Amino acid sequence: MAIELPIELHRLVFEICGWSEPHTLPTLVLVSSTVRTWTNPILYSVITLWEQRTADLFVNTLESPTSAHHASLVRNLCLTKAVGHRRALRILTLCPNLDHLACWISHPDLYPVLAAHRPQTLSVSFAPLFRDAKRARPDFGGALFERATHVEFKDDPQTWANWTGFLHAPRLTHLAFSCHLSASTVSAAARAIRGILESCTSLRVCLVLAPSRSHWRQVLDVEDPRVVHLNAPKDLITDWENSVRGYRNIWTLAEEVVARRTCKEVDVRSTNSSTAKFQCTKARRQTRYVPLASAVYYCYNTHIAVTDDAISDRMTV
């Protein structure tokens, strides 16, 4: 005699499968319309776009009358430079519920749309979002930073060294500068970071991400235990996906460094050198996984999930 399982257990099985094995999502959405309602939130929760064709297919999906509601499911979004600012503008306009946003595309047309979002984490090249980059100043009291706890600026020190108002970001606890340090900028960078730490007491981590070839990060004269110098991750996309999924990432690594310093007396300079570099490499090795975005990418490249209509004839209602 066949045993019929409760619908709640069916849903749990499919959701666990979708979260733990993201590459199965293109198949799971074809099982039935009911299963599709369970798995679509997983499929669209983390979106990473790294090429134009994928971005075009994604936009077509969101703009389709039968799939427009999918835009509200997108919570975590990474836009790389290859996407282009026009596509990025459409995507940012379509997706209103972003919790974690990385926008590595810089164009003045993007700022008004970008500033309307209220992400919890933000990674952005800020100055190029303005027509006069030298006058670019973040409005830390504005909507863009209203909920932000983790913010990364991919700007050079000559851009952010004169920024003020970090204390007006009400929830900011983690701040990162991904930049190239040089003999001409290292002093200004150190002075700016000291000022930020003095005014923004809520900061728990101030992370300086410099390329591994940059020896100037070793002479950034800031001995506050909250300041951590690390090599920038080689795989930026994977590290970002790790952060939004709760896996070990560059932020958690920096937190571990700060925790070691505050629990016992540790030379700040010693934990900013080879030890941290080794642990960063180790962290990347421990957190390799099949990113959810790969499943989305697979859907678009095989034309399975472009619109709901495209797959409805293959489903059992």
Chain segment 207-255, per-residue pLDDT in tens: 999 876 665 555 577 888 999 999 899 899 999 999 998 899 999 999 9
Q: How far is CA 258 from CA 65, 210, 225, 247, 283, in A?
A: 49, 18, 6, 18, 16
- Provide the pLDDT for residue 69: 86
Where does the chain show beta strands of DSSP type E? Answer: 46-49, 76-79, 100-103, 121-124, 150-153, 174-178, 205-210, 227-231
Go through 302-313 and write b for each residue having 16 or more CB atoms within 10 A of its CB, e for each that does not: eebbbbbeebee
Give the distance, in angstroms, between the CA of residue 167 and the centroid of all CA atoms in the same chain.
22
- pLDDT beyond 80 at 27: yes
Confidence of residue 134 (pLDDT cuts 50, 70, 90): confident
Rounded CA-CA distance 155/260 in Å is 28
Go through 115-153 and write b for each residue having 16 or more CB atoms within 10 A of its CB, e for each that does not: eebbbbbbbbbbbbbeeebeebebebeeebbebbbbbbb
Mean pLDDT of 46-61: 93
Mean pLDDT of 281-294: 35
- Provide the pLDDT for residue 71: 93
Q: For residue 172, which of 204, 143, 142 has the smallest C-alpha distance?
A: 204
Least confident span in 27-31, 247-251, 304-308: 304-308
The answer to whether the CB of 87 falls within 8 A of the CB of 52 is: yes
Confidence of residue 260 (pLDDT cuts 50, 70, 90): very high
Element (H, E) at 112: helix 111-114
- Provide the pLDDT for residue 216: 59
Rounded CA-CA distance 141/123 in Å is 17
pTM above 0.85, yes or no: no
Three-state DSSP state, 245: helix
- Provide the pLDDT for residue 269: 47
Q: For residue 273, which of 249, 257, 286 has the smallest C-alpha distance?
A: 257
Least confident span in 65-74, 81-90, 105-114, 162-171: 65-74
CA atoms within 13 A on the CB side of 309: 7
Please write the tens of the pLDDT for every residue from 92-125: 999 999 999 999 998 999 999 999 999 999 999 9
- pLDDT beyond 80 at 168: yes
Q: Break the chain into its structural domains and give their ranges.
A: 44-304
- pLDDT beyond 90 at 273: no
Q: What is the DSSP letter of 209?
A: E
Query: From edge to edge, which strands make up the β-sheet containing 121-124?
Result: 46-49, 76-79, 100-103, 121-124, 150-153, 174-178, 205-210, 227-231
Question: What are the residues whose beta carbons fall under 8 Å from the beta carbon of 253, sequence distance 6 or more?
Answer: 230, 276, 279, 280, 283
Pairwise pLDDT comparison (65 vs 299), residue with the higher score: 65
Pairwise pLDDT comparison (285 vs 115), residue with the higher score: 115
Pairwise pLDDT comparison (314 vs 244), residue with the higher score: 244
Q: How far is CA 230 from CA 108, 168, 220, 248, in A?
A: 30, 26, 12, 15
The answer to whether the CB of 299 falls within 8 A of the CB of 305 is: yes
Least confident span in 112-126, 137-151, 284-298: 284-298
- pLDDT beyond 60 at 313: no
Confidence of residue 278 (pLDDT cuts 50, 70, 90): very low
CA atoms within 13 A on the CB side of 267: 4
